[in-house]
Amino acid sequence: MINPFANALDAQREGFEAMADGLEKASVAPERAGPLAKIEVGETPSEVVYTENKLELLHYKPEDAGIEVPEEEQCDVPILIVYALINKPYILDLQAERSVVRRLLEAGHDVYLIDWNEPSRMDQYLTLDDYVNRYIHNCVEEVAERTGNEQINVLGYCMGGTMTAMYAALHPEKVNAMALMAAGLYFDDTGGVLEEWGSDEYYDPEDVTSAFGNVPAGMLDVGFALMDPVDNFVSKYVRLYDNLENEDFVENFARMERWLDEGIDLAGAAYEQFLGDIYQENKLYKNELYLDGKHVDVENIDMPLLQLMGEYDHLIPAAASKPFNDVVGADDIETIEYPTGHIGLSVSGSSHEDVWPRAAEWFHEQSEDVELEEAATEIEIGDGADAATEAGEEPEAGGPPAEDDEIEVETPESEDGEQATLTDEEGADSVDTVNGIGPTYAERLEAAGIETTADLAAADAATVAEAAEVSASRAQDWIDQVA
Protein backbone atom coordinates (compact mmCIF):
# COMPACT_ATOMS: atom_id res chain seq x y z
CA MET A 1 0.00 0.00 0.00
CA ILE A 2 1.35 3.43 -0.96
CA ASN A 3 2.02 5.74 1.95
CA PRO A 4 -0.05 8.87 1.24
CA PHE A 5 2.50 10.96 3.11
CA ALA A 6 5.55 9.68 1.15
CA ASN A 7 5.62 12.44 -1.45
CA ALA A 8 5.16 15.14 1.15
CA LEU A 9 7.90 13.67 3.35
CA ASP A 10 10.27 13.35 0.37
CA ALA A 11 9.65 16.96 -0.58
CA GLN A 12 10.24 18.05 3.00
CA ARG A 13 13.47 16.04 3.18
CA GLU A 14 14.74 17.52 -0.09
CA GLY A 15 13.88 20.98 1.17
CA PHE A 16 15.87 20.46 4.37
CA GLU A 17 18.83 19.10 2.37
CA ALA A 18 18.76 22.12 0.06
CA MET A 19 18.58 24.43 3.07
CA ALA A 20 21.54 22.69 4.71
CA ASP A 21 23.51 22.89 1.47
CA GLY A 22 22.66 26.57 1.16
CA LEU A 23 23.78 27.29 4.72
CA GLU A 24 27.03 25.44 4.12
CA LYS A 25 27.73 27.42 0.94
CA ALA A 26 26.75 30.65 2.66
CA SER A 27 29.40 29.99 5.29
CA VAL A 28 32.18 29.96 2.66
CA ALA A 29 30.76 32.77 0.52
CA PRO A 30 32.62 35.54 2.41
CA GLU A 31 35.89 33.65 1.93
CA ARG A 32 35.28 33.37 -1.79
CA ALA A 33 34.34 37.03 -2.16
CA GLY A 34 37.97 38.02 -1.65
CA PRO A 35 39.31 36.29 -4.78
CA LEU A 36 36.45 37.70 -6.82
CA ALA A 37 37.55 41.23 -5.96
CA LYS A 38 41.34 40.86 -5.85
CA ILE A 39 42.15 38.22 -8.44
CA GLU A 40 45.38 38.75 -10.38
CA VAL A 41 45.69 38.31 -14.14
CA GLY A 42 48.41 38.72 -16.74
CA GLU A 43 51.12 37.75 -14.28
CA THR A 44 53.85 36.76 -16.73
CA PRO A 45 56.45 39.55 -16.39
CA SER A 46 56.88 41.80 -19.40
CA GLU A 47 58.44 45.11 -20.31
CA VAL A 48 57.16 47.79 -22.66
CA VAL A 49 59.72 48.13 -25.44
CA TYR A 50 57.82 50.38 -27.85
CA THR A 51 54.87 52.75 -27.65
CA GLU A 52 52.88 54.64 -30.25
CA ASN A 53 49.71 56.55 -29.50
CA LYS A 54 47.92 54.28 -27.00
CA LEU A 55 49.51 50.98 -27.98
CA GLU A 56 52.24 49.30 -25.98
CA LEU A 57 54.47 46.58 -27.38
CA LEU A 58 55.18 44.08 -24.61
CA HIS A 59 58.20 41.78 -24.54
CA TYR A 60 58.27 38.66 -22.39
CA LYS A 61 61.44 36.86 -21.34
CA PRO A 62 61.59 33.29 -20.01
CA GLU A 63 64.05 34.15 -17.24
CA ASP A 64 61.76 36.88 -15.92
CA ALA A 65 58.94 34.34 -15.72
CA GLY A 66 61.11 31.75 -13.98
CA ILE A 67 61.25 29.62 -17.12
CA GLU A 68 64.55 27.98 -18.02
CA VAL A 69 64.96 26.81 -21.60
CA PRO A 70 68.20 25.18 -22.82
CA GLU A 71 69.93 27.30 -25.44
CA GLU A 72 69.66 24.59 -28.08
CA GLU A 73 65.85 24.60 -27.66
CA GLN A 74 65.48 28.36 -28.06
CA CYS A 75 64.04 29.71 -31.30
CA ASP A 76 65.86 32.63 -32.92
CA VAL A 77 62.81 33.84 -34.84
CA PRO A 78 60.53 35.84 -32.50
CA ILE A 79 56.73 35.67 -32.37
CA LEU A 80 54.62 38.83 -32.41
CA ILE A 81 51.10 38.30 -31.07
CA VAL A 82 48.56 40.66 -32.62
CA TYR A 83 45.59 40.83 -30.29
CA ALA A 84 42.06 41.96 -31.11
CA LEU A 85 40.92 45.57 -30.70
CA ILE A 86 38.17 44.36 -28.33
CA ASN A 87 38.83 43.46 -24.67
CA LYS A 88 42.23 43.25 -23.03
CA PRO A 89 44.95 40.83 -24.14
CA TYR A 90 45.54 39.13 -20.79
CA ILE A 91 43.08 36.42 -21.85
CA LEU A 92 46.24 35.01 -23.47
CA ASP A 93 47.98 35.15 -20.09
CA LEU A 94 45.09 34.54 -17.71
CA GLN A 95 47.00 32.40 -15.21
CA ALA A 96 50.21 30.39 -15.27
CA GLU A 97 48.68 27.04 -16.22
CA ARG A 98 46.32 28.63 -18.76
CA SER A 99 48.66 31.10 -20.45
CA VAL A 100 49.33 31.00 -24.18
CA VAL A 101 52.25 33.35 -23.56
CA ARG A 102 53.84 30.95 -21.07
CA ARG A 103 53.32 27.91 -23.32
CA LEU A 104 55.26 29.68 -26.07
CA LEU A 105 57.97 30.81 -23.66
CA GLU A 106 58.31 27.30 -22.24
CA ALA A 107 58.81 26.04 -25.79
CA GLY A 108 61.75 28.40 -26.27
CA HIS A 109 60.08 31.20 -28.21
CA ASP A 110 60.84 34.91 -27.92
CA VAL A 111 57.40 36.46 -27.44
CA TYR A 112 56.11 39.98 -28.09
CA LEU A 113 52.49 41.15 -27.83
CA ILE A 114 50.60 44.26 -28.94
CA ASP A 115 48.40 45.74 -26.22
CA TRP A 116 46.18 48.29 -27.98
CA ASN A 117 44.75 49.88 -24.81
CA GLU A 118 41.72 52.17 -24.77
CA PRO A 119 41.20 54.54 -27.72
CA SER A 120 40.23 58.11 -26.94
CA ARG A 121 37.71 60.31 -28.72
CA MET A 122 40.60 61.60 -30.81
CA ASP A 123 41.15 58.05 -32.10
CA GLN A 124 37.66 57.59 -33.52
CA TYR A 125 38.94 58.29 -37.04
CA LEU A 126 41.63 55.60 -36.97
CA THR A 127 41.09 53.25 -39.90
CA LEU A 128 42.14 49.69 -40.60
CA ASP A 129 44.96 51.17 -42.64
CA ASP A 130 46.22 52.93 -39.52
CA TYR A 131 46.14 49.73 -37.51
CA VAL A 132 47.63 47.47 -40.20
CA ASN A 133 50.07 49.62 -42.16
CA ARG A 134 51.05 51.91 -39.33
CA TYR A 135 50.77 50.29 -35.92
CA ILE A 136 51.27 46.61 -36.74
CA HIS A 137 53.95 47.42 -39.30
CA ASN A 138 55.88 49.61 -36.87
CA CYS A 139 55.71 46.88 -34.22
CA VAL A 140 56.98 44.30 -36.71
CA GLU A 141 59.83 46.64 -37.62
CA GLU A 142 60.65 47.15 -33.95
CA VAL A 143 60.71 43.42 -33.20
CA ALA A 144 62.79 42.71 -36.30
CA GLU A 145 65.29 45.42 -35.40
CA ARG A 146 65.57 44.31 -31.78
CA THR A 147 66.17 40.68 -32.73
CA GLY A 148 68.20 41.15 -35.91
CA ASN A 149 65.71 39.28 -38.08
CA GLU A 150 64.51 40.35 -41.50
CA GLN A 151 61.37 38.27 -41.01
CA ILE A 152 59.45 37.34 -37.88
CA ASN A 153 56.63 34.96 -36.95
CA VAL A 154 53.17 36.37 -36.25
CA LEU A 155 50.18 35.04 -34.32
CA GLY A 156 46.86 36.86 -34.71
CA TYR A 157 43.86 36.31 -32.45
CA CYS A 158 40.23 36.96 -33.42
CA MET A 159 39.97 40.43 -35.00
CA GLY A 160 43.74 40.64 -34.57
CA GLY A 161 43.99 37.54 -36.75
CA THR A 162 42.02 39.22 -39.51
CA MET A 163 44.30 42.26 -39.36
CA THR A 164 47.35 39.99 -39.29
CA ALA A 165 46.19 38.35 -42.51
CA MET A 166 45.83 41.82 -44.05
CA TYR A 167 49.34 42.70 -42.93
CA ALA A 168 50.83 39.49 -44.33
CA ALA A 169 49.15 40.16 -47.68
CA LEU A 170 50.56 43.69 -47.81
CA HIS A 171 54.01 42.92 -46.37
CA PRO A 172 54.78 39.25 -47.08
CA GLU A 173 58.51 39.95 -47.06
CA LYS A 174 58.27 40.71 -43.32
CA VAL A 175 56.55 37.47 -42.26
CA ASN A 176 58.31 34.13 -41.89
CA ALA A 177 55.26 32.15 -40.73
CA MET A 178 51.73 33.11 -39.71
CA ALA A 179 49.30 31.49 -37.29
CA LEU A 180 45.69 32.68 -37.09
CA MET A 181 43.57 31.84 -34.07
CA ALA A 182 39.76 32.08 -34.30
CA ALA A 183 40.15 34.66 -37.07
CA GLY A 184 37.16 35.94 -39.04
CA LEU A 185 38.20 35.60 -42.68
CA TYR A 186 35.12 34.46 -44.60
CA PHE A 187 31.53 35.59 -44.14
CA ASP A 188 29.01 34.05 -46.47
CA ASP A 189 26.30 32.08 -44.65
CA THR A 190 28.74 30.50 -42.20
CA GLY A 191 26.10 30.22 -39.50
CA GLY A 192 27.82 32.59 -37.10
CA VAL A 193 25.53 34.73 -34.97
CA LEU A 194 27.69 37.82 -35.47
CA GLU A 195 27.44 37.42 -39.22
CA GLU A 196 23.66 37.29 -39.01
CA TRP A 197 23.40 40.26 -36.67
CA GLY A 198 25.90 42.26 -38.70
CA SER A 199 24.08 41.74 -41.99
CA ASP A 200 23.49 44.96 -43.91
CA GLU A 201 19.85 43.91 -44.10
CA TYR A 202 19.45 44.67 -40.40
CA TYR A 203 22.40 46.77 -39.32
CA ASP A 204 24.30 49.88 -40.36
CA PRO A 205 27.49 50.44 -38.31
CA GLU A 206 27.37 54.17 -39.07
CA ASP A 207 24.27 54.43 -36.88
CA VAL A 208 26.50 53.59 -33.93
CA THR A 209 29.56 55.63 -34.83
CA SER A 210 27.55 58.72 -35.72
CA ALA A 211 26.00 58.60 -32.26
CA PHE A 212 29.03 57.64 -30.16
CA GLY A 213 32.18 58.20 -32.21
CA ASN A 214 33.94 55.12 -30.85
CA VAL A 215 31.87 51.99 -30.29
CA PRO A 216 31.22 51.71 -26.52
CA ALA A 217 32.61 48.63 -24.81
CA GLY A 218 29.35 48.23 -22.90
CA MET A 219 27.36 47.91 -26.11
CA LEU A 220 29.75 45.28 -27.44
CA ASP A 221 29.67 43.37 -24.13
CA VAL A 222 25.88 43.20 -24.05
CA GLY A 223 25.79 42.10 -27.67
CA PHE A 224 28.22 39.25 -27.04
CA ALA A 225 26.34 38.18 -23.89
CA LEU A 226 23.02 38.07 -25.76
CA MET A 227 24.46 35.56 -28.19
CA ASP A 228 24.01 32.94 -25.45
CA PRO A 229 21.77 34.64 -22.87
CA VAL A 230 20.84 31.58 -20.83
CA ASP A 231 24.45 30.65 -20.14
CA ASN A 232 25.72 34.21 -19.70
CA PHE A 233 22.93 35.43 -17.42
CA VAL A 234 21.82 32.27 -15.59
CA SER A 235 23.77 29.04 -16.02
CA LYS A 236 27.23 30.32 -15.19
CA TYR A 237 26.01 31.74 -11.88
CA VAL A 238 24.33 28.44 -11.06
CA ARG A 239 27.67 26.73 -11.72
CA LEU A 240 29.40 29.25 -9.46
CA TYR A 241 26.91 28.53 -6.67
CA ASP A 242 27.35 24.78 -7.07
CA ASN A 243 31.14 25.17 -6.85
CA LEU A 244 31.50 27.81 -4.15
CA GLU A 245 33.48 25.38 -2.02
CA ASN A 246 35.96 24.79 -4.85
CA GLU A 247 38.56 27.53 -4.48
CA ASP A 248 40.19 26.88 -7.87
CA PHE A 249 36.83 27.08 -9.63
CA VAL A 250 35.99 30.38 -7.93
CA GLU A 251 39.36 31.89 -8.84
CA ASN A 252 39.02 30.82 -12.47
CA PHE A 253 35.50 32.25 -12.53
CA ALA A 254 36.77 35.53 -11.09
CA ARG A 255 39.51 35.83 -13.71
CA MET A 256 37.08 35.31 -16.56
CA GLU A 257 34.55 37.74 -15.10
CA ARG A 258 37.22 40.39 -14.71
CA TRP A 259 38.26 39.97 -18.34
CA LEU A 260 34.66 40.11 -19.55
CA ASP A 261 34.04 43.21 -17.44
CA GLU A 262 37.11 45.10 -18.66
CA GLY A 263 36.12 45.69 -22.25
CA ILE A 264 37.54 48.59 -24.25
CA ASP A 265 35.95 50.86 -26.82
CA LEU A 266 36.59 50.30 -30.51
CA ALA A 267 37.73 53.07 -32.87
CA GLY A 268 34.72 54.14 -34.91
CA ALA A 269 36.21 54.31 -38.40
CA ALA A 270 37.94 50.93 -38.04
CA TYR A 271 34.66 49.42 -36.80
CA GLU A 272 32.76 50.76 -39.82
CA GLN A 273 35.35 49.33 -42.20
CA PHE A 274 35.51 45.98 -40.46
CA LEU A 275 31.74 45.52 -40.38
CA GLY A 276 31.19 46.85 -43.88
CA ASP A 277 34.15 45.44 -45.82
CA ILE A 278 34.83 42.21 -43.93
CA TYR A 279 31.48 41.05 -42.52
CA GLN A 280 28.95 42.49 -44.91
CA GLU A 281 30.84 42.45 -48.22
CA ASN A 282 33.36 39.66 -47.55
CA LYS A 283 36.03 41.65 -49.40
CA LEU A 284 39.06 40.02 -47.79
CA TYR A 285 38.07 36.55 -48.95
CA LYS A 286 37.00 37.84 -52.37
CA ASN A 287 40.40 39.55 -52.73
CA GLU A 288 38.67 42.90 -53.22
CA LEU A 289 39.88 44.68 -50.08
CA TYR A 290 41.85 47.92 -50.33
CA LEU A 291 43.39 49.87 -47.45
CA ASP A 292 44.08 53.49 -48.33
CA GLY A 293 44.29 52.56 -52.00
CA LYS A 294 46.60 49.56 -51.44
CA HIS A 295 45.27 46.20 -52.60
CA VAL A 296 45.24 43.57 -49.86
CA ASP A 297 46.11 40.76 -52.26
CA VAL A 298 45.62 37.53 -50.32
CA GLU A 299 47.54 35.62 -52.99
CA ASN A 300 50.65 37.31 -51.56
CA ILE A 301 50.17 35.24 -48.40
CA ASP A 302 52.71 32.63 -49.46
CA MET A 303 54.35 31.94 -46.09
CA PRO A 304 53.50 28.83 -44.00
CA LEU A 305 50.04 29.22 -42.46
CA LEU A 306 48.53 27.61 -39.36
CA GLN A 307 44.83 28.04 -38.57
CA LEU A 308 43.58 27.34 -35.03
CA MET A 309 39.79 27.05 -34.74
CA GLY A 310 37.24 26.08 -32.11
CA GLU A 311 34.75 23.43 -33.14
CA TYR A 312 32.12 24.97 -30.86
CA ASP A 313 33.02 28.61 -31.52
CA HIS A 314 29.72 30.49 -31.91
CA LEU A 315 31.45 33.86 -32.43
CA ILE A 316 33.78 32.86 -35.26
CA PRO A 317 32.82 29.34 -36.34
CA ALA A 318 35.38 27.23 -38.16
CA ALA A 319 33.39 27.83 -41.34
CA ALA A 320 34.37 31.50 -41.10
CA SER A 321 38.07 30.60 -41.17
CA LYS A 322 38.73 27.43 -43.18
CA PRO A 323 37.63 28.64 -46.65
CA PHE A 324 40.40 31.26 -46.49
CA ASN A 325 42.92 28.44 -46.98
CA ASP A 326 41.64 28.03 -50.54
CA VAL A 327 42.35 31.59 -51.69
CA VAL A 328 45.77 32.37 -50.21
CA GLY A 329 49.01 31.75 -52.07
CA ALA A 330 50.52 29.47 -49.41
CA ASP A 331 51.20 25.82 -50.17
CA ASP A 332 52.20 24.92 -46.61
CA ILE A 333 48.93 25.13 -44.66
CA GLU A 334 48.01 23.30 -41.46
CA THR A 335 44.64 23.39 -39.71
CA ILE A 336 43.79 22.49 -36.12
CA GLU A 337 40.07 22.38 -35.34
CA TYR A 338 39.72 21.58 -31.65
CA PRO A 339 36.55 20.71 -29.69
CA THR A 340 36.28 23.93 -27.70
CA GLY A 341 34.81 27.41 -27.99
CA HIS A 342 36.13 30.84 -28.93
CA ILE A 343 37.63 31.60 -25.52
CA GLY A 344 38.38 27.95 -24.82
CA LEU A 345 41.20 28.04 -27.37
CA SER A 346 42.98 30.42 -25.00
CA VAL A 347 42.04 29.21 -21.54
CA SER A 348 40.74 25.64 -21.50
CA GLY A 349 42.99 23.12 -19.81
CA SER A 350 42.69 20.67 -22.69
CA SER A 351 43.76 23.32 -25.21
CA HIS A 352 46.92 23.89 -23.22
CA GLU A 353 47.61 20.17 -23.19
CA ASP A 354 46.82 19.46 -26.84
CA VAL A 355 46.74 22.60 -29.00
CA TRP A 356 49.47 24.91 -27.79
CA PRO A 357 52.31 22.37 -27.63
CA ARG A 358 51.50 21.55 -31.27
CA ALA A 359 51.35 25.23 -32.23
CA ALA A 360 54.64 25.96 -30.46
CA GLU A 361 56.31 23.06 -32.26
CA TRP A 362 54.88 24.27 -35.58
CA PHE A 363 56.56 27.65 -35.10
CA HIS A 364 59.83 25.85 -34.36
CA GLU A 365 59.54 23.82 -37.55
CA GLN A 366 58.86 26.90 -39.67
CA SER A 367 61.85 28.69 -38.15
CA GLU A 368 64.39 25.91 -38.66
CA ASP A 369 65.20 26.88 -42.24
CA VAL A 370 65.79 30.48 -41.20
CA GLU A 371 68.12 29.43 -38.39
CA LEU A 372 70.00 27.03 -40.68
CA GLU A 373 70.49 29.76 -43.28
CA GLU A 374 71.86 32.13 -40.63
CA ALA A 375 74.17 29.43 -39.29
CA ALA A 376 75.40 28.62 -42.79
CA THR A 377 76.17 32.28 -43.42
CA GLU A 378 78.14 32.54 -40.18
CA ILE A 379 80.12 29.38 -40.99
CA GLU A 380 80.88 30.58 -44.50
CA ILE A 381 82.20 33.91 -43.26
CA GLY A 382 84.14 32.34 -40.41
CA ASP A 383 85.67 29.60 -42.56
CA GLY A 384 86.86 32.13 -45.11
CA ALA A 385 88.68 34.18 -42.51
CA ASP A 386 90.19 31.13 -40.82
CA ALA A 387 91.35 29.65 -44.12
CA ALA A 388 93.12 32.86 -45.09
CA THR A 389 94.86 33.00 -41.72
CA GLU A 390 95.97 29.38 -41.87
CA ALA A 391 97.39 29.88 -45.37
CA GLY A 392 99.40 32.85 -44.18
CA GLU A 393 97.62 35.19 -46.56
CA GLU A 394 97.14 38.85 -45.90
CA PRO A 395 93.55 40.05 -45.52
CA GLU A 396 92.10 41.50 -48.68
CA ALA A 397 92.15 45.24 -49.10
CA GLY A 398 89.10 46.75 -47.56
CA GLY A 399 88.73 43.89 -45.10
CA PRO A 400 88.60 44.34 -41.34
CA PRO A 401 91.84 45.64 -39.77
CA ALA A 402 93.90 43.57 -37.42
CA GLU A 403 93.35 44.13 -33.72
CA ASP A 404 96.66 45.99 -33.35
CA ASP A 405 96.03 48.31 -36.28
CA GLU A 406 95.01 51.84 -35.50
CA ILE A 407 92.27 53.45 -37.52
CA GLU A 408 92.54 57.15 -38.11
CA VAL A 409 89.37 59.04 -38.83
CA GLU A 410 89.70 62.51 -40.23
CA THR A 411 87.47 65.02 -38.55
CA PRO A 412 86.34 67.80 -40.87
CA GLU A 413 87.43 71.28 -39.95
CA SER A 414 85.23 74.30 -39.76
CA GLU A 415 86.00 77.46 -41.71
CA ASP A 416 88.10 78.86 -38.85
CA GLY A 417 90.24 75.74 -38.81
CA GLU A 418 88.78 74.21 -35.65
CA GLN A 419 87.51 70.67 -35.68
CA ALA A 420 83.80 70.46 -36.33
CA THR A 421 81.55 68.33 -34.12
CA LEU A 422 79.94 65.41 -35.92
CA THR A 423 76.51 65.58 -34.26
CA ASP A 424 73.01 66.50 -35.24
CA GLU A 425 71.89 70.04 -34.75
CA GLU A 426 72.29 70.85 -31.08
CA GLY A 427 69.11 70.21 -29.11
CA ALA A 428 67.39 68.37 -31.95
CA ASP A 429 66.19 64.81 -31.47
CA SER A 430 65.62 62.17 -34.09
CA VAL A 431 62.19 62.27 -35.73
CA ASP A 432 61.30 58.86 -34.29
CA THR A 433 60.94 60.52 -30.88
CA VAL A 434 57.74 62.17 -32.12
CA ASN A 435 54.54 60.42 -31.07
CA GLY A 436 53.18 58.54 -34.08
CA ILE A 437 56.46 58.27 -35.99
CA GLY A 438 57.76 54.73 -35.83
CA PRO A 439 60.77 53.17 -37.56
CA THR A 440 59.11 52.99 -40.97
CA TYR A 441 57.96 56.60 -41.08
CA ALA A 442 61.30 57.75 -39.65
CA GLU A 443 63.15 55.93 -42.43
CA ARG A 444 60.97 57.54 -45.10
CA LEU A 445 61.43 61.00 -43.61
CA GLU A 446 65.19 60.60 -43.26
CA ALA A 447 65.39 59.56 -46.91
CA ALA A 448 63.79 62.91 -47.74
CA GLY A 449 66.29 64.80 -45.59
CA ILE A 450 64.00 65.23 -42.57
CA GLU A 451 66.17 63.58 -39.93
CA THR A 452 65.64 65.61 -36.76
CA THR A 453 62.79 67.31 -34.96
CA ALA A 454 64.29 70.62 -36.09
CA ASP A 455 64.05 69.48 -39.71
CA LEU A 456 60.46 68.43 -39.09
CA ALA A 457 59.53 71.75 -37.49
CA ALA A 458 60.95 73.64 -40.47
CA ALA A 459 59.09 71.54 -43.05
CA ASP A 460 55.57 72.07 -44.33
CA ALA A 461 52.79 69.50 -43.99
CA ALA A 462 52.61 68.75 -47.71
CA THR A 463 56.32 67.89 -47.90
CA VAL A 464 56.18 65.71 -44.79
CA ALA A 465 53.01 63.96 -45.97
CA GLU A 466 54.54 63.14 -49.34
CA ALA A 467 57.80 61.90 -47.82
CA ALA A 468 56.17 59.69 -45.18
CA GLU A 469 53.25 58.64 -47.40
CA VAL A 470 50.65 59.79 -44.87
CA SER A 471 47.78 62.24 -44.89
CA ALA A 472 48.48 65.96 -44.62
CA SER A 473 46.53 66.13 -41.35
CA ARG A 474 48.71 63.49 -39.74
CA ALA A 475 51.84 65.25 -41.01
CA GLN A 476 50.61 68.53 -39.53
CA ASP A 477 50.04 66.79 -36.19
CA TRP A 478 53.68 65.68 -36.15
CA ILE A 479 54.84 69.20 -36.99
CA ASP A 480 52.64 70.71 -34.29
CA GLN A 481 54.26 68.43 -31.70
CA VAL A 482 57.71 69.88 -32.35
CA ALA A 483 56.84 73.43 -33.37
Q: Examine the residue annotation and report whether 59 is marked as an active-site residue of this protein.
A: no
From 158, 265, 277, 455, the catalytic residue: 158
- Cβ-contact 107, 364 below 8 angstroms: yes
Among 50, 9, 27, 14, CA closest to 144: 50
Residue 353 to residue 347: CA distance in whole angstroms: 11
Q: Examine the residue annotation and report whether 75 is marked as an active-site residue of this protein.
A: no
Q: Which helix (H) or strand (E) holds 259?
A: helix 247-261
Following DSSP, what letter does each residue of 270-298 receive, concatenated? HHHHIIIIIIIT-HHHHT--EETTEE--G
From 93, 129, 130, 313, the catalytic residue: 313
CA distances from 145 to 49, 141, 142, 159, 222 (A): 12, 6, 5, 26, 41
Quick one: 354 exposed, middle or buried, by C-beta within 10 A (0-12, 13-18, 19+)? middle
Residues in Cβ contact with 239 at an 8 Å cutoff, skipping those fewer than 6 apart:
253
Nearest-10 crossing angle of helices 472-482, 461-468: 120
Quick one: 469 exposed, middle or buried, by C-beta within 10 A (0-12, 13-18, 19+)? exposed
Q: Which helix (H) or strand (E) holds 209?
A: helix 205-212
> Given the DSSP bridges, would you call strands 305-310 and 333-338 parallel, antiparallel or unpaired?
parallel
Residue 160 to residue 82: CA distance in whole angstroms: 5
- Cβ-contact 189, 214 below 8 angstroms: no
Amino acid (1-letter code) at residue 207: D
Residue 426 to residue 296: CA distance in whole angstroms: 43
Q: How many CA atoms lie within 13 A of 222 on its CB side?
A: 4
Neighbours of 301 (CB within 10 A): 23
Q: Examine the residue annotation and report whether 342 is marked as an active-site residue of this protein.
A: yes
From 59, 137, 342, 352, the catalytic residue: 342
Quick one: 327 exposed, middle or buried, by C-beta within 10 A (0-12, 13-18, 19+)? middle
Nearest-10 crossing angle of helices 439-447, 461-468: 110
> Given the DSSP bridges, would you call strands 290-291 and 294-295 parallel, antiparallel or unpaired?
antiparallel
Positions marked catalytic: 158, 313, 342
